[in-house]
Structure 1
Amino acid sequence: PQSANSDIGETQSIQSTGARVVCIRSKLMWIICTIVAIAIITIPTAIILTKKGNVVEIDLTTIMMATEKGSTTLMLTTTKSSTTAIAEPGSTTTTAAEPIPTTTEAVWVPTGSMNRARTSHTQVTLKNGNVLVAGGQFGDRHVLKSAEVYTASTGLWTNTGDMNTARFSHTASLLTNGNVLVVGGTNDGSTALNSAEVYDPSTGLWSNTGSMNNARFCHTASLLTNGNVLVIGGYDGSTTFSSAEVYDPSTGLWTTTISIMNTARCEHTASIFTNENVLVVGGGNTVYLRSAEVYNASIRLWTTTGNMNIQRFQHTASILKNGNVLVVGGGTTVRAPLSSAEVYNLPTGLWTAADTMNTARLYHTASILTNGNVLVVGGRTKDNIPLSSAEVYNLSTGLWTAAGTMNTARLYHTASILTNGNVLVAGGMADMNTIFSSAEIYG
């Protein structure tokens, strides 16, 4: 009898254990089947089934569970966008909500406005991560000598020391010592300046330095690997220049290059390669140009290179991670903006047509993102309408895609990359009666 009772007890124990195993297996199978069924029915949407409060969130690969007050919510999402169906407690009706973006795709966000509206100014990201904006104009006759600094950590602008000379259509270059060199420009739109001055971020003050040999605006300035600055071309109100000159920060003096460009030009672009050669592209004098030439900094000589497929001015040029140069937009005339883009191959000296932008534009900006892609922003149309659109050139595919819409349509604005990889766009105009102090961030 004792043995029989023991056998019965063992059997009951085994049956009880087996029942628990079956129960656990059943629950597991129910959970698995439920998840699979929901996935089949709802992907790529998000479904929320609500009782009162427990949450099971399935984010493609991650399941998170929480309990509170005996309630249960099951939510399935995807990484792009979702349509949400909600079942209210005690109700069998569902309503579809608006699509909810769940990606980390870059968007445009307003940030602090400058203290002064300005256009045709300069913008430089300093070594400390803050951004210096200097000069520009406010309306037809009001030229600015003020400067201000954007603090990236707070999103606020602070006035800093004024330049010694009011100017617009000048250039600003970050020197190797962290100071900023501002060169040339104009204070009335017709008379060029030959003066230059240096901003010291540690003091917030400007000091005059040596003047250029030629007064010029609508020129370019390129920082050479030896720390000198090469200023090229430009216009003095009556003459377009083929000359170039080099600024030496150690002496504060300018030296004209031994040779001059083969073609005088202003409103062109200049791109410096790792070998210190500088590619100058397009622009205009009495006509708009498709020619290009290269300055060899080691021997200080200019040589012509392949012509672009089409003439253009007020375009942008960006050195890609593969060493090629992407030239974008601009115009064949002020009334004929371009959507075309082309790529310069350094080893061959030849140009190849690239994918066409979605929107023709000139007076825009182009910024090289940390992933190597190129962000093009704003500008204006052939009808003189400012653009709020932006688009990105994908280096790996060679294609353009839309990159959202700025909060303010603008041209003659500035843009620079922040230390976190975001892009700060500031100022600009819709027309000479509408100048902006606003700024916004792409990231």
Structure 2
Amino acid sequence: MNTIKCFTLAWSLTGNMNNGRQWHTASVLSNGRVLVTGGANYNGTLYNSLNSSELYDPSTGIWTTTGNMINARYAHAESVLSNEKVLVTGGIGNSILNSAELYDPSTGTWTTTSNMTDVRHSHTASVLSNGKVLIVGDALNSAELYDPPTGTWITTGNMNNAPYFHTASVLSDGKVLATGGQNNNGYLNSAELYDPATGIWTTTGNMNNSRHAHTASVLSNEKVLVTGESSNGYLNTAELYDPSTGTWTTTRNMNNARYIHTSSVLSNGTVLVTGGSSISGVLNSAELYDPSKDT
């Protein structure tokens, strides 16, 4: 006899953070806890950068403070390294930063590491298969690599475009796909690939829509799902990149137009899209995309 099990997806409240923050970062550590760093609060006139950090324990739903960062920052990037330390780079403090620092989960403390070559904010940081971290963006076409064993930075090939508010995704073949964003010339629909073996960027197929502050998710079928904001306003459109052909195809629209949202690939292969902003204001809505059904 075949049986059907029904599951209800629901949201429930959990413990509040110790500090309200936006433009912060969050990383899942190897022990399952979530490290949240920096960000800003807004007093109605100015963004005030934060140096505070805290840890969320999923088993208790409780947040605890941990060591403060050396530099207050928001719009920064955060990466969990293969040695389990967390690398934080750039962002905005009293000015745009090129500083970098490391968090050690075993001690809860921060130490400085070498500065990036360029100041950056709203950039991306991608951990490559060789353990190095690729940094790109902030209206710059320059790219640089951080080597965790030596704590040093080296420049690598320049991008074809100089984006910020773009996305960067590590594909199954080890290449990095950068999509969209904006620069001094406006919003971008371009996409390009970085090859760690050569340090060279090559263009690939353009997206169907120019996008910034969007999301990109690598699916279990190796395609990349891009959702949200476009140069034409708040959009609910989504599209898929096929690495085997270098082309984009449209897929089903989201239920809500949104940007500055998040997208997370769940263990069952579906993509959870949450929050963001739309023409009606800040959103608390969430929706799921099922690649197997294209819905």
Cα distance in 1, alignment partners of residues 225 and 208 from structure 2: 13
Runs of 4+ that moved beyond 4 A:
none
Name the residue aligned to 1:401: 249
Contact kept? 1:309, 1:351, Cα under 8 Å: yes
| Match 2:96 to one of 240, 258, 277 | 240
Name the residue aligned to 2:149: 298
| Pair 1:418-2:266 in alignment | yes
* Counterpart secondary structure, 1:187: strand
Name the residue aligned to 1:155: 9
Alignment-mate amino acid for residue 19 of structure 2: T
Alignment-mate amino acid for residue 348 of structure 1: T
| Pair 1:434-2:281 in alignment | yes
Cα distance in 2, alignment partners of residues 300 and 407 from structure 1: 44
Alignment-mate amino acid for residue 436 of structure 1: L
Cα distance in 2, alignment partners of residues 314 and 412 from structure 1: 9
Cα distance in 2, alignment partners of residues 211 and 225 from structure 1: 22
Matched residue count: 281
| Pair 1:370-2:220 in alignment | yes
Cα distance in 2, alignment partners of residues 289 and 365 from structure 1: 20
Shift of 1:276: 1.3
* Counterpart secondary structure, 1:168: coil
| Pair 1:206-2:63 in alignment | yes
Q: What do the CA deviations read for 1:94-138 (whole angstroms, capped 9, x no partner)?
A: xxxxxxxxxxxxxxxxxxxxxxxxxxxxxxxxxxxxxxxxxxxxx
| TM-score, normalised by the number of residues in structure 1 | 0.62
Q: What do the CA deviations read for 1:310-329 (whole angstroms, capped 9, x no partner)?
A: 11100000001111100000
Cα distance in 2, alignment partners of residues 361 and 337 from structure 1: 6
Alignment-mate amino acid for residue 124 of structure 2: T
Name the residue aligned to 1:191: 48
Contact kept? 1:224, 1:276, Cα under 8 Å: yes
Shift of 1:154: 2.7
Shift of 1:274: 2.1
* Counterpart secondary structure, 1:327: strand
Contact kept? 1:380, 1:410, Cα under 8 Å: no
Cα distance in 2, alignment partners of residues 393 and 200 from structure 1: 35
* Counterpart secondary structure, 2:13: strand
Task: Flag structure 1 segments of 5+ consecutive residues without an equivalent.
Answer: 1-152
Alignment-mate amino acid for residue 176 of structure 2: V
Name the residue aligned to 1:311: 162
Cα distance in 2, alignment partners of residues 154 and 300 from structure 1: 47
Name the residue aligned to 2:200: 350
Q: What do the CA deviations read for 1:10-50 (whole angstroms, capped 9, x no partner)?
A: xxxxxxxxxxxxxxxxxxxxxxxxxxxxxxxxxxxxxxxxx
| Pair 1:324-2:175 in alignment | yes
Name the residue aligned to 2:36: 182
Name the residue aligned to 2:293: none
Name the residue aligned to 1:143: none
210-219 or 371-380: which moved more? 371-380
Cα distance in 2, alignment partners of residues 224 and 410 from structure 1: 31
Pairwise CA RMSD: 1.1
* Counterpart secondary structure, 2:78: strand
Cα distance in 2, alignment partners of residues 253 and 265 from structure 1: 24
Cα distance in 2, alignment partners of residues 435 and 293 from structure 1: 34
Shift of 1:374: 0.7
Alignment of 1:270-285 (within 5 A): 270-283=125-138
Cα distance in 2, alignment partners of residues 276 and 231 from structure 1: 15
Shift of 1:364: 0.2
Q: Identify which of structures 1 and 2 has the higher relative contact order when contacts are C-alpha pairs closer than 8 Å and 6+ apart.
A: 1
Name the residue aligned to 1:250: 106
Task: Flag structure 2 segments of 5+ consecutive residues without an equivalent.
Answer: 1-6, 291-295
| TM-score, normalised by the number of residues in structure 2 | 0.93
| Pair 1:388-2:236 in alignment | yes
* Counterpart secondary structure, 1:158: coil
Cα distance in 1, alignment partners of residues 200 and 223 from structure 2: 21
Contact kept? 2:209, 2:230, Cα under 8 Å: no
* Counterpart secondary structure, 2:12: strand
The structure whose residues are more often helix, as a share, is: 1
Shift of 1:273: 1.0
Alignment-mate amino acid for residue 198 of structure 1: L
Contact kept? 1:315, 1:362, Cα under 8 Å: yes
Cα distance in 2, alignment partners of residues 162 and 216 from structure 1: 21
Q: What do the CA deviations read for 1:242-281 (whole angstroms, capped 9, x no partner)?
A: 1110000000000110x21110100000000122100000
Shift of 1:380: 2.9
Contact kept? 1:375, 1:391, Cα under 8 Å: yes
Alignment of 1:48-67 (within 5 A): none
Alignment-mate amino acid for residue 250 of structure 1: S
Shift of 1:218: 0.3
Q: What do the CA deviations read for 1:306-346 (whole angstroms, capped 9, x no partner)?
A: 1101111000000011111000000014x821000000011
Alignment-mate amino acid for residue 35 of structure 2: L
